[in-house]
Chains A and B, each alone.
Chain A
Amino acid sequence: MQTTIQTEKQRGISSARRKLVQRLGFAGISLAALLTVAPIVLIVIHIYSNGLPAISWEFISAMPREGMRAGGILPAIIGTFWLTLGTAVVAVPLGVGAAIYLAEYAPDNRWTRTIRIAIINLAGIPSVVYGLFGLGLFVLFLRFGTSLLAGSLTLAIMTLPIIISTAEEALRAVPNSFRVVSISLGGTQWQTIRKVILPQALPGILTGVILGLERAAGETAPILFTVAAFFLPRLPNSIFDASMALPYHLFVISTQVPSMPIRIQYGTAVVLLTFVLGMNAIATVIRSRARAHRQW
C-alpha cells in the first residue's frame, strides 16, 4: 500500500487527478446506495397509496364473503396473530435460554462449537424446507394435522437462530466487570444473571425477539403445508384447527383467484405491511431508548 501510493506521487499523478477520481467514485457509490434504498421507499408508498382506500372497519373486522372477493379479512388477521403468539411462546424461552447458556455458561470446547454450527445451519435452511420438515414431523408423524400448533412449532424453530444470536450479542455486550462485582459480593452465577445481566441485556434481547417474530409473521412457505387454509368460514377454535394467515392470503388472492378485485389485494398488502413496519418501528424505538438510558 505504501509503495503504490508513493509511486503514484512520484509518477506525478497530480493530486487534482486523484481528487477527481475520488469525486467520481463517491458519486458512483452514492448512486448505488440511492438505487438500493429508493425502491424500498417507492414500494411502501405505492402499496399504501393503492391500498389505504380499501381499508375500512369492515375490512379488518368482518369475515370474507363471495369467495374472498368481498367483505373482510378478519380470519387472516386473527390467524397471523395466533401464529405469531404461538411462535413467541415456544421460540422465546428456548432462544433466550440457549443464548444465556452460550454467553454465560458454555465452556470453550467442541460441544459448544457444534452448537454454534447447528445454529448457523438452522439460520440458513430455506423456508420451504422448514415447511417440508413441519409437514413431515408435526402434521404427519405427530399427527397434529394442518393446525396452528404445527404451524407455530415450525415457525418457532425457524425463528430460533435469529433470537439466539441477537440475544447472545446483547448478553455479551454487558460489561464483564458487573459479573465480577456480583460474584465478589457472594452472588451465584444465576443470581448475577437474573439480577444484573439479564435486565441490562433486555432491550437488546427484546429487539431481536421482535425482529424475529416480524420475520415469522411474514413467512409463507413454512405455513403452506402446516397450517394454511384458504377459505375458512369460521375463526380457529383450538390449536388443532387450520387457519388462514395474512401472507398466505395475499399469495392466494394475487395468484390463484380469478377476478379478485385489485382493491382487496392492495388492502391485504397494506395490512401485512403495516404489521411488519409496525414491529420494525417498535424495535427501533426500544433500541434507541435503551441506548439513551444506558448506565454503562
Chain B
Amino acid sequence: MVIRRTGTQAASPEQAIKIKIEDLSVSYSDGTESLRGVDLLIPEKAVTVLFGPAGGGKSTLLRMINRLNDLADVTEVHGHVWLDGQDVLSPETDVIALRRRVGMVFARPVVLPMSVRRNLTYGLELSGEHDAEFLRGAVERSLRAAALWEEVQDRLDEPASSLSGGQQQRLCLARSLVLEPDVILLDEPTSGLDPISTGKVETSLALLKQDYTIVLVPHSIQQAARTADFAAFFLGGELVEYAPGRQIFTNPQHERTEDYVEGRFG
C-alpha cells in the first residue's frame, strides 16, 4: 500500500520550532517496525496532537523524545530528534538532564507509593534539591498549574493512592511540572477518567500551552479536535498528514485521514 504524504513541513511561520524529528525509524527486537522515516516539526508553546489508530507508532515517537525507549527492546534507530538544536538520540546526550527537561504523563495514573507531597518533590529529590522552602513552593505552584491545589492542599501528607482516579492523574500532571520542563509529553492521559476529570485536564493543557511545548496523544478524535493547535495523523508507523489547527478534522487532504476521521476504520 503506497501512502502519499502531505504537508509534513507546514508550520505557522510565527511559531518557533521546539523539536524537529528528522527521518526517524525505530524497530523493536521482535522485528516489528514501529516508525518509518518520520519527519515532523513540533512548534513551541502549542499543543501538537499525534492521533491515529492503535499501533501507529505514536507512543513510540513520544518515548523517543525523552529516551524512555532505552528501557524497551529497541534494536534499530535511525534518524534524529533535535531538541533546541541538540540531537537527543546522540550517545553523548545527558539522558538524566534530558528527562528533566521533558516531562511525561502516562495513560494510567501512576502515583508513587508515597504521600502526595513526596510524589511531587520526588523529581527534585532525584536532582539533589533539599531546600524545604523551595520544595514547598514548588509543590504549591505545580498543584495550582494542574488545577488541583484547592482539592488537596489539606491532604498533602496523605498517601497519593487515597486520591480519586482523576485527582491522581492531575497529580501526575503536576508532578511533571515540578521540574519546570520545557516540553510535556502526554500519552492518552485521560483514557481511564470520567468526563469531568477529562475536562479539567484539557482545561489545564489549554493554560499550560502558554508556557510549555505540549505533545499529546489523545484517546479519541473528539479530544484531538478539542485540543489541537497542530495535528499529525499516524498510520502504520508513518506520518500520513499534518496540518495546523482544526482543519485536518474538518477538511482532511488525504483519503486515509478522511477514512479515519469519518470513523470508517480505527
A binding-site residues for B, Cβ under 8 Å: 177-188, 191, 195-196, 200, 294-296
Known: A185-B179, A191-B126, A294-B113. 15 other contacts (CB 8 A): A177-B106, A177-B108, A180-B106, A181-B110, A183-B68, A184-B66, A185-B100, A185-B123, A185-B126, A186-B97, A187-B96, A187-B126, A195-B122, A195-B125, A196-B113
Interface string of B107-134 (1 = CB under 8 A from A): 0101011100000001101110000000
B binding-site residues for A, Cβ under 8 Å: 66, 68, 71, 96-97, 99-100, 103-104, 106, 108, 110, 112-114, 122-123, 125-127, 159-161, 175-176, 179
On whether A182 and B68 interact (CB within 8 A), knowing A195-B125, A296-B161, the answer reads no
State A187–B103 Cα separation when bound (angstroms): 12
Q: Which residue of A lies closest to B119 (CB)?
A: A181
Q: Which of A178, A186, A295, A296 contacts B126 (CB 8 A)?
A: A186
Q: Which of B99, B160, B161 contacts A185 (CB 8 A)?
A: B99
Selected A-B contacts with CB under 8 Å, 25 pairs: A177-B108, A178-B110, A178-B112, A178-B113, A180-B68, A180-B106, A180-B110, A182-B112, A183-B71, A183-B99, A184-B103, A185-B100, A185-B103, A185-B126, A185-B175, A186-B126, A186-B179, A187-B96, A187-B126, A188-B96, A195-B125, A294-B113, A295-B114, A296-B113, A296-B161
With a cutoff of 8 Å between Cβ atoms, the chain A residues found around residue B108 in the complex are 177
Distance of A290 from chain B, by nearest CB (Å): 12
**Dominant secondary structure at the A interface:** helix
State A185–B97 Cα separation when bound (angstroms): 9
Establish whether residues B113 and A200, one from each chain, have CB atoms under 8 Å apart when the complex forms: yes
Distance of B14 from chain A, by nearest CB (Å): 31
Establish whether residues B113 and A184, one from each chain, have CB atoms under 8 Å apart when the complex forms: no
Distance of A176 from chain B, by nearest CB (Å): 9
With a cutoff of 8 Å between Cβ atoms, the chain A residues found around residue B122 in the complex are 182, 185, 195
Distance of B135 from chain A, by nearest CB (Å): 15
Q: Which residue of A lies closest to B99 (CB)?
A: A186
On whether A181 and B112 interact (CB within 8 A), knowing A186-B96, A186-B179, A295-B161, the answer reads yes
